[in-house]
Structure 1
Amino acid sequence: MVTPGGGAEPTASAWAPLRTAVYRNLWLALLAANIGTWMQTVGAQWLLVNQSNASTLVALVQTASLLPVLLLALPAGALADAFDRRHLLISVQLFLVGVAAALALLTAAGRMPPALLLTLTFAFGVGQALTLPAWASVIPELVSREHLRAASALGSISVNLARAVGPAVAGVLIARLGVAPVFALNGVAFLVFAYALLRWRPGDARAVEVPERFTAALRAGGRYVRHSPIVRRLLRRALVFVLPASALWALLPLVASRRLGMNSSGYGLLLAALGVGAIVGGVLLPWIRTRLTANQFLLLAGVLYGATLLVVASVRIVPVVLVALLPAGLAWVVVLANVNAEIQLFLPGWVRARGLAVFQVVQGGGQAVGAFAWGVVADVAGLVAAFAGAGALMLLSAVTSQIWPLPELRGVKRDPATYWPRLQLALQPDPRVGPVLIEVTYTVRPERRADFLTAMELVRGSRQRTGAMRWGLFHEAECRDRYVEVYLVPSWDEHLRQHGGRLTEADQEAEQRVRGIADGEPDVRHMFPAAAGPVTEERTV
């Protein structure tokens, strides 16, 4: 495998995760749910193609389904990190069954105006926003680490196989039976996924000694991403691809009906071409990694997708458009599946769902905002102008892969490490007490000052990612060899979590480097607000 910075590694088979029975069963059930979701999307969009301002309304179907991801993914990630993910997933699927039933019944009764359709589509988006981070964070519990990239690619294959099958089935059903049966089948698909989750019995319950408070968990997740340059770089790469790419998904039904003269079945065929290309991309992704560096295939994928947008803008020949959509589907999977897998591999377990939720915010929010923007451009300037503008922007974003390349992750150690000594306290505080000030004093000889300051930069990042609200390093005026690190943690509970699960082997290496430069062991002190009133007793934590 060629990793982000280049260099070969052994490549797992694209299908290897399916050898694990529990993953295979859930993957198949999720495939059914994904097929239902794409059937629902086609049905909703086709109900609106004959409305006035159809360009904006059709694009708003994408926006309504993806905007909840922008609004709710991070809270959903906090819930998934704090509580039982299986129970959360089951509850959400049953909610989606109810929404699908409402859509089917109201559509069959002829009581589905655009506003209500978009509202219920938004409700579907809420369910998806709650599902995505919980499911993504469950995958590392189902497959081994060496199969994680293949599992991520299989997730994309599931989505895109559904994109190939769902629209085609929906197109036939709409042409023969109408939209209501499509919505009803979507509800059945979610019921299948809920049943598969009910049958799954995790071998080891995920240990959550005391769930984090919701607002504290939200802040901790945001703080981790804010202070992780690698995660920010990966998110930026996803965003600059998704914004122009969203034009194709948002406006394709209008291309089918207005430029190519196709009915709902024809629109399903166009989506199927995208799905087939994406499936091929998922299967070929391990092979691609052995031939190209990540930044090379980012450039190639952006060029392919941009070329597709320009072809759709300029060509009215159906076979040509179908052929052009194949590489676009491939490029979509190659970029987003790879970025998603890199984030899964990098994030430590304690914050994985929240970090993946931020990725979903970037991907889903970028699609939602992009879909609305390109819909407005199409209404004002026309479909051709919208696709031409999106194509030019995609080609520009491909060039940025050489300016903002994917980070080098080889050798980055993400396994948890508990290496801080047990705390010997004279005062035992309540876990809610805060903020807590931690002071660490180092003795460093003058000739080692430069190395010490460089090494402390890595320690600073570790402290801020795992809980510190503020951090500083000071040189004591009374002693030229003494440096004092101070950092502020929101609560005593938050600091105990640093001691008991948030640190990784990479954090340990950073601290060991500092201690190797300093003379002797550092002196550590913990200070609480004077008004907190902790119980006076000696206690080991």
Structure 2
Amino acid sequence: MNDQRSAFAPLRQTLFAVIWVATIVGNTGSFIRDVASAWLMTDLSSSPVAVAMVQAAATLPVFLLAIPAGVLADILDRRKLLIGIQLLLASVSACLVLLSLADMHTVASLVALTFVGGIGAALMGPTWQAIVPELVERKELKDAVALNSLGVNIARAVGPALGGLLLASLGAALTYGVDVISYMFVIAALLWWRRPKAQPDALTERFPGAFRAGLRYARASRELHVVLLRAFLFFAMASAVWALLPLVARELLNGDAGFYGILLGAVGLGAIGGAVIMPRLRNHLSPDGLLLMAALVTAAVMGFLAFAPPKWAAVSALLVLGAAWITALTTLNGVAQAILPNWVRGRSLAVYLTVFNGAMTAGSLSWGAIAAGIGVPLTLLSSAGGLVLIGLIAHRVKLPTGDDDLVPSNHWPEPLTAAPVQIDRGPVLIQIEYRVAAENRAEFLKVLARLSSERRRDGAYVWGVAEDSADPAVMLEWFQVESWAEHLRQHKRVSKADADIQQEVLRFHQGQQAPAVRHYLGFNRA
């Protein structure tokens, strides 16, 4: 009972509660808009490719812009950025209202406006995640993240069903109008939030450098690579059900817009149920087991839908799909969160979102093209079979445990300088000199290789190790960073887990004094 009560503890804080409710309202409006657009496309064109393009247009911007959005979330005022994004999304829906009133919708206009809405979603995703630590105390952060996930699925359960009913009863214009109102509610909540102004910091990152730092981290983190690979394989295969669901509702199940909304609402309800039982599942299954189970269940639902079941059975199947989908999302996102340090969390999660939406975009377009050739039922069966096969193969590539302590260790001493150094001066070459016995060299180099990954993740763009030709016992580790400011940031980024690796390296160093560390400053060219 204590765990259940603590899970809702963040809602006792007024600021978090207001923003949380606002996000549910805003996400509900977005789902209403998406249902209306997806169904409206089936009126404009019966082509599976055209229908799939709506899904692709919504996810492609996130694939293209998630990483820049993550950088912006780290360097701009997040409250003002979110308000601007809400105004953009409200403008998109206002245009959809006007086109609906004038009966001037075309395939091109619908895809284009969906794409612009996707740009807003791309900018909003990392930013919403980044503000959570500002709204709650640190001890309640995990509960707040879980509540955000619950809020999205509440919106997923309510929004599609409400959108389908509004579209069937009131028409497209009023349906899009409800979405516009939802953004106004979110803007009001953000205006009410008096976010403290950030204090000036000489080490504040600028966009180009922050962008490169995020990419360097993502490139050097093998653990993140595993998460990205597993996510891409799952979502690329499972995207077929989302790309083709409007055609499943209309052609295979002979439903209308209201029924399509009910199907999507069932997914949301299933996701809420899945979120409730997830703690029990984690007691019995590892993250790898949970992801395999989600793949098998998703494949079974797609195969079931291919045979045009009765409507009640299809709704039941979508409930199960929702539980499987939230299991996969929560598992992969949870592992990603566990392996990322705070300083690069937004940017690395943006990389994850890029892969997720890239897989959904490529999968949607591919499955839409395949359905145009072989039909919807055979396409669903093909994707189901592929998901089972890839799920079993990918299960052998184990997800990281995420047990490392990534809290900054702050154990590096301030670098010695003869005079103050301009923070933009660079590049900077750092050398660490070790003395290692010959019999320990192989083991030393093995541990040092692990340390090299940490150096690269935290800011080094090149790393190496060399021996002294006159004294082979002297081993020189060296790496370079872009600027003096980047090296000072590197001091703040080293985690306690990294410090443990460094301590392992120091075990091999002989001598009473610590290894000599030298910093060499490059001369900026005019």
TM-score range, shorter chain: over 0.9
1:268 and 1:243 map into 2 onto residues whose CA distance is 24
2:335–2:399 contact (8 Å) kept in structure 1: no
Match of 2:450 in 1: 458
- Quote the residue 1:341 is aligned against: 334
Between stretches 149-158 and 313-322, larger displacement belongs to: 149-158
**Counterparts of residues 152-163 of structure 1 (less than 5 Å):** 152-163=145-156
Q: 1:159 to 1:21 in 2, by over 3 A?
A: same
Q: Which residue of 2 aligns with 1:538?
A: none
Task: Give how far 1:144 is off.
Answer: 5.2
Cα distance in 1, alignment partners of residues 319 and 50 from structure 2: 26
Report the Cα distance in structure 2 between the residues aligned to 1:13 and 1:314, rounded to whole angstroms: 44
2:170 is aligned with 1:170: no
* Count of equivalent residues: 522
Counterpart of 1:465, as a letter, is R
Kindly provide the amino acid, as one letter, of the partner of residue 67 in structure 2: L
Evaluate the alpha carbon distance shift between residue 470 and residue 304 of structure 1 in structure 2; reply closer, same or farther with a 3 A threshold.
Answer: same
Residue of structure 2 equivalent to 1:256 = 249
Deviations 1:493-527 (A, max 9, x none): 2112112x221111222212222321231111222
Deviation, structure 1 residue 94: 1.7
1:98 and 2:91 equivalent? yes
Rounded to whole Å, the distance in 2 between the matches of 1:12 and 1:301 is 28
Which residue pairs with 1:6 in the alignment? none
Which of 451-460 and 112-121 deviates more? 451-460
Deviation at 1:458, TM superposition (A): 2.3
Hey, what's the Cα distance between the residues in 2 that align with 1:508 and 1:12?
36
- Does the 8 A contact of 2:45 with 2:107 survive in 1? no
- Find out whether 1:126 has 2:119 as its counterpart: yes
Sort the Cα spacing of 1:333 and 1:12 in 2 relative to 1 into closer, same or farther, 3 A.
farther
CA distance in 1, matches of 2:162, 2:524: 66
Q: Does 1:54 align with 2:47?
A: yes
Identity percentage of aligned residues: 39
Counterparts of 1:510 and 1:176 in 2: how far apart (Å)? 63
Contact kept? 2:66, 2:353, Cα under 8 Å: yes
Structure 2 residue aligned with 1:515:
506
8 Å CA contact 1:106, 1:112 repeated in 2: yes
Inter-partner Cα distance in structure 2 for 1:12 and 1:456 = 46
Q: Distance in 2 between matches of 1:290 and 1:66?
A: 33
Matches of 1:372 and 1:74, distance apart in 2: 22
Partner of 1:40: 33
Residues 370 and 15 from structure 1, CA distance in 2 versus in 1: closer, same or farther, beyond 3 angstroms?
Answer: farther
What residue number does 1:419 align with? 411
Q: Determine if the alignment matches structure 1 residue 430 to structure 2 residue 422.
A: yes
Inter-partner Cα distance in structure 2 for 1:490 and 1:298: 39
Aligned equivalent of 2:483: 491
Which range moves more in the overlay, 393-402 or 178-187?
Answer: 393-402
TM-score if structure 2 supplies the norm length?
0.94
Superposed CA deviations along residues 25-83 of structure 1, whole A, max 9, x for unmatched, are: 22211111111111111111111113345311111111111100011000010111122
TM-score normalized by the length of structure 1: 0.92
Q: Which amino acid aligns with 1:478?
A: A
Q: 1:90, 1:279 → 2: CA distance?
A: 28
Instruction: Check whether the contact 1:148–1:345 (CA below 8 A) recurs between aligned residues.
Output: no
**Would you say the 8 A contact 1:168–1:272 is kept in 2?**
yes
Offset, 1:152? 3.7
Give me the whole-angstrom Cα distance separating, in 2, the residues matched to 1:288 and 1:12. Answer: 20
Partner of 1:536: none
Question: Secondary structure of the residue that 2:417 maps to in structure 1?
Answer: strand
Indicate conservation of the 8 Å contact 1:433/1:532, yes or no: no
Contact 1:63 / 1:372 at 8 angstroms: preserved in 2? yes
User: How far off its partner does 1:200 sit?
Assistant: 2.3
Q: CA deviation at 1:435?
A: 2.0
Show CA shifts across 1:88-132 (max 9, x none).
112211221122212212221222212111111111100010010
Structure 1 residues 515, 204: CA separation in 2 closer, same or farther (over 3 Å shift)?
Answer: farther
In 2, Cα distance between the equivalents of 1:402 and 1:176?
46
Return the alpha-carbon distance in structure 2 between the equivalents of residues 140 and 60 of structure 1: 36
Of residues 184-193 and 200-209 in structure 1, the stretch that sits farther from structure 2 once superposed is 200-209
Give the alignment partner of residue 77 of structure 2, picking from 70, 78, 84.
84
Question: Are residue 300 (structure 1) and residue 301 (structure 2) matched?
Answer: no
Deviation of 1:479 after TM superposition, in Å, equals 0.5
Partner Cα separation in structure 2 for residue 374 and residue 111 of structure 1: 29
Aligned 8 A contact 2:60 2:118 in 1: yes
